[in-house]
Structure formats: C-alpha cells, structure tokens
Amino acid sequence: MRIATWNVNSMKARLEKVRWWLGRAAPDVLLIQETKLADADVSPERFADLGYQLAHHGEGRWNGVAIASRCGLDEIVTNFGEPRRAPATATGGDDQPLAETRMISALCGGVRVVSLYAPNGRSMGSPHYVAKLAWLDRLARWLEETRKPSELLVVGGDYNIAPDDRDVWDARACHGGTHVSPAERGAFQRLCDWGLVDAYRKYHPEAERYTWWDYRAGDFYKNYGMRIDHLLVTQSVASRAIDAEIDREARKGKPIPSDHAPLTLDLDEAGTAFDPGWAGAAERIAARRAKKPKT
C-alpha cells in the first residue's frame, strides 16, 4: 500500500499534473492540500476514470483538502468533527483557521488517514501566528480525544513546520521567523510524543531534502527549500513501512508544477518505481554547499 501527500497549490490549475503523477507513482491513497475549490467545483470523474474515489472539503478560493483513494473511502470526518466557525474578521483569512477547510479524514484500506493543511502563520506574533498555534493545538486535542496511538493512523499534509534545522536551507536565515519557531516545533513534537513517527526521517536522516521551494529567484534549482510536508504515522503503521520518498521530479516541468513536491510512504511492499531525482541533483547541491561562506 502506497500512501502519499501533496500540496497541489490549486486543483484547478494543477489537475493535469495531479493526473500525471497518479499515473507516475500510482499511490493507493493521495492526501491533497490547497485545492482552492468549493465542493461543488471538484471533478470526481477525473479521478474515477483513473480508479480513485474522491472526498473533498473545500470552501472555494482558499485552502481545501481532499483524499483520493482506490482502496475504499469510509467514515469521513471534516474539521475535527465539528461545524466550521464563523470568521473572526471579514477579511482576516487565517486569523480563525477553524472557519476554514483544513482537515479531512477517512478510513482507506483499513488505515485511518488524515489530510491536513495547517495555517501558514504569516509573521511572528501576528494574529495569524496565534491562530496557527491554536489550530495545531486543536489537531493535537482531536488525536488525544478521538484516536489511539495503537491504531493504524497516518496524519499527513502540509504542516507548515520544519521540525529541525536539517529541514531548512539556511537555519541562520530562517530563525526568527515562522515555520521554525520553538512554539511551532513544540506543537510538532507534541504530536510525536502522543505516538506519531516522522515516516520520512525513518529512512532519510540527511539534510537538504525538502518538499517546498519558492517559485522565485530560482530557489528550486539552488535547493533553497524547506521540508514542511510530512507523513506522521503510528507505530503500527511504521512497523509496516518499507520506504519513504520525496518526488523532486514532480516539482519540475509541464504541466505547471506546484511549489510543493509529493511525499510517499510504502507499506508492506514497494509501490510503482519512479526516479525521485535526488541523485541527479546531488552534484548541483554539493556545488552550492561548497560556495557557502564559512562560519
């Protein structure tokens, strides 16, 4: 069983890229974030013709999460099982993230999966940063109140958190901002302390493996990125895992790519083989490292 997560940065703009990647990597379950569609605007038939059922939780222009599965799609939960709240302000956006479509969960092939899109936080000390921490607290409480560390559970998506300094291109440049703050990293650690394991790190302890790169200034080709998309799993899932990978190649080329790359996790046996592109990028990454000023 292959489970993957991908922030597609607009399903409307990237649908053909998503369909291409479903054919390339053939995940059994794909957790999708930032669809930027309302439920009425999704195209489930464009997944059905590839053998996937689709569950979507979206509001329109922003956010939006989904699960595409070819191994069942049952017991769907959205927004932690509670009604969406009213926005805090008319134009504030993610100053009240529980008003937004950021979480969907379902049972797929006997595994409970969660697709989440955590708030960005924007800037330290802002109402958006405070709201991000509140949303992460709500996620942790949902796990503590409704799930068990003993169950087969995968909590995947765009966390907008780089758990440690290996997960950013330049720790000195990043510290003092969001995504790397002690409070955000503490929220991530709280999930791990509850019973979740960072599946990618089980197989890849090395630095400079990222899931997001800014579109600007050639950051992707310089490998100036962050690892902010994660598949956190319970021990019962981790014991079945055999490999995890970030598909760097999906961040390139046409159709127009997202600014995020897909992350995969294989359980029990290897999924469809693909070249993630890291070996080919190694020389360029090493050259950049050699040019860094010594500290």
Q: Rounded to a whole number, what is the largest CA-CA distance in the chain?
A: 55
Q: How much of the chain exceeds pLDDT 70, in percent?
A: 96
Residue 288: is its pLDDT beyond 70?
no
Q: What are phi and psi of 177, to 5 degrees?
A: -115, -175
In this prediction, residues 63-70 reach a mean pLDDT of 98
Q: Does pLDDT of 294 surpass 70?
A: no
Q: What percent of the chain has pLDDT over 90?
A: 85
Would you state the torsion angle of the CA atoms of residues 51, 229, 15, 282, taken in this order, to the nearest 10 degrees?
-100
Residue 96 pLDDT level (bands cut at 50, 70, 90): confident
Strands, E assignment, the chain: 2-7, 29-33, 53-57, 65-69, 74-78, 103-108, 111-117, 153-158, 196-198, 212-213, 225-226, 229-234, 241-246, 263-267
pLDDT at 92: 56
Residue 101, pLDDT > 90, answer yes
* pLDDT surpasses 70 at 79: yes
Is-above-0.85 flag for pTM? yes
**What pLDDT does residue 295 have?**
41
What's the pLDDT at 284? 73
3-state secondary structure of 72: coil
Q: CA–CA separation, 224 vs 214, rounded Å?
A: 8
Strand 153-158 versus strand 111-117 pairing type: parallel
Tokens of 115: 């697709």
pLDDT over 90 at 61, yes or no: no
Chain-wide mean pLDDT for the chain? 94
| All residues at 6 or more sequence positions from 60 whose CB lies less than 8 Å from its CB, including other chains | 36, 37, 38, 41
Q: Identify the pLDDT of residue 190.
A: 98
Domain count, the chain: 1
Per-residue pLDDT, averaged over 45-51, amounts to: 98
Report, as an integer, the average pLDDT of 149-174. 97
pLDDT-derived band at 87, boundaries 50, 70, 90:
confident
Interval 200-216 mean pLDDT: 96
Instruction: Show the domain range for 238.
Output: 2-291
C-alpha distances out from residue 160 to 152, 180, 229, Å: 24, 9, 7
User: Mind listing the pLDDT tens digit for each residue in 102-127?
Assistant: 999 999 999 999 999 999 999 999 99
For residue 50, the one-letter residue type is L
| CATH for 263 | 3.60.10.10
Tell me the mean pLDDT in the region 12-40.
98
Structure tokens at 184: 């955000």
